[in-house]
Amino acid sequence: MHLHILGICGTFMGSLALLARELGHTVSGSDAGVYPPMSTQLEEAGIALMEGYSPANLAPRPDLVVIGNALSRGNAEVETVLDAGLPYVSGPQWLAEHVLPGRRVIAVAGTHGKTSTASLVAWLLESAGLSPGFLIGGVPRNFGISARLGAHDAPFVVEADEYDTAFFDKRSKFVHYRPEIAVLGNLEFDHADIFTDLAAIERQFHHLVRTVPGKGRLLVADHEPALDRVLAMGAWTPVVRFGEAAESPWRVELEREDASRFRVIHQQGEGAGAVDEDAVVDWPLTGAYNARNALAALAAAHACGVDLSRAAAALARFETPRRRQELRGEVAGIQVIDDFAHHPTAIAATLAGLRAATARGRLLAVIEPRSNTMRLGALRERLAQSVADADAAFWYRPEGLDWPLEAVVAASPVPAREERDLDALVAALVAEARPYDRIVVMSNGGFGGIHDRLLAALEVAHG
């Protein structure tokens, strides 16, 4: 079968294309923005990519068109699909119908940390010899690819996004997946372009909870009021809590301030017959939020029969997914780090983790507020404080940002500046950087290739 995918370079749709190719389908696709790492792995898989949207991309006529949620009415290819009567489906529905049936699905949901936690779960299952399948909204470096089928009888790990499914299906993507194990890591307001308030997102999370069978498991973070409200709407599945609360069956205790070493405690049973098992994790990641993500992954892997001690040892070999605290290069002792953080909470957590692990030099934050939520100005009053753990902040104004960044710069608790030209931003960073500094670039897009441009400019200035 020939599948043509609209929006193929999105993290979800690109991963879907890899699964379709692995199933033996002929796959092509188009997108308005084609850039690595997704474009690279698609081309390596033999998938034809077309830049831009055009009716000509639909010739020869595909057997099925899979339409991503970034596409809407008025798009040239969408209109051609409808006018020509071509069969079409959403990405989540195609996944649910062609990949997930018969699999034990583990869905990882939450406002933050989905990609990292899903990657962790997949790695722990892989380390235990289970050969899981997975679809992750990023590229886990332990696998080098964002999706695979895995063994037919192995669990399937899916990053469960609350964003809407398609222009013709406004439910959240994750309602299609019907998981047996659902990880709910956190929940706060985001996606201001489709949700009016936090209550609307909580309702979608409740729809996910309603799909988990009674024989399954809900792994739910403690100290998350929004998730408590979701469960209060009704839950028909055993709920297992994880976090720092003394009463949570899965708990984490930091043994180093930067969270590079921590203890996991798992309480099995209740009352006088309760038994604790524990294990120590010593790994290359930092940040309390990463330790919490690992805790959730350990609980999910344990639910699939993976021994806690074995899983904890495997974390020492875990590599962060691409664009999650990824070191892109180092010049004269100056590190350039790439991170996907694009929400005030994620920005603050990323900087706090890096701050705890920075023994010498300064931490310079470079931020492009380009997500739909940021473009609309939602949460902008929290942006200034989000960089408190940096030594300086550089804000870049992307196209389409229609509110002033000046107020964020003025309210910054650390020295800050705004740049509107990418070359000027690179020049300012090169002039500011000193040996042992860490420059962390945060954006949910390609950011004009700033990482390579910055490394090249640093090489000229300091190499």
Tokens of 7: 């929006």
Are β-strands 275-282 and 261-268 bridged in parallel, bridged antiparallel, or unpaired?
A: antiparallel
The reply to whether 373 sits in an annotated binding site is no
353: annotated binding-site residue? no
Residue 147 forms beta bridges with which residues? 135
For 451, the token pair is 């990482």
Cα–Cα distance for residue pair 182/184, rounded to 1 Å: 6
Question: Starting at the edge strand that comes first in sequence, how are the strands of the sheet with 147-148 ordered?
Answer: 147-148, 133-135, 156-159, 105-109, 181-184, 217-221, 239-243, 250-254, 261-268, 275-282
275-282/326-331 β-pairing: unpaired
Whether the bond into 37 is cis, omega within 30 of 0? yes
* 358 assigned binding-site residue: no
Q: Is 116 annotated as a binding residue?
A: yes
165 is in an annotated binding site: no
DSSP 8-class letter at 62: P
Angle in degrees, CA 268, 270, 272, rounded to 5: 110
| Ramachandran area for residue 144 (φ above 0: left; ψ -120 to 50: alpha; else beta) | left
112 is in an annotated binding site: yes
CB atoms inside a 10 Å sphere around CB 271: 5
Q: Which two tokens stand for residue 173?
A: 């993507």
DSSP 56: G
Distance CA 455, CA 463 (A): 10
Alpha helices in 63-113 (DSSP H): 76-84, 91-98
Question: By C-alpha distance, which of 446, 401, 450 is closest to 31?
Answer: 446
280 close to 312: Cβ distance less than 8 angstroms: yes
| Tokens encoding 238 | 């055993």
Contact 321, 122 (CB under 8 A): no
In this structure, is the dihedral angle defined by the CA atoms of residues 183, 189, 190 and 196, taken in order, positive or negative? positive
Rg (CA), the chain: 22
| No. of helices (H) and no. of strands (E), the chain | 15, 23
Q: Is 119 annotated as a binding residue?
A: no
Q: What span, in angstroms and rounded, lies between the C-alpha atoms of 167 and 147? A: 24
* Cα–Cα–Cα angle for 184, 189, 194, rounded to 5 degrees: 105
Q: List, as residue ranges, the binding site.
A: 110-116
Q: List, as residue ranges, the binding site for ATP.
A: 110-116
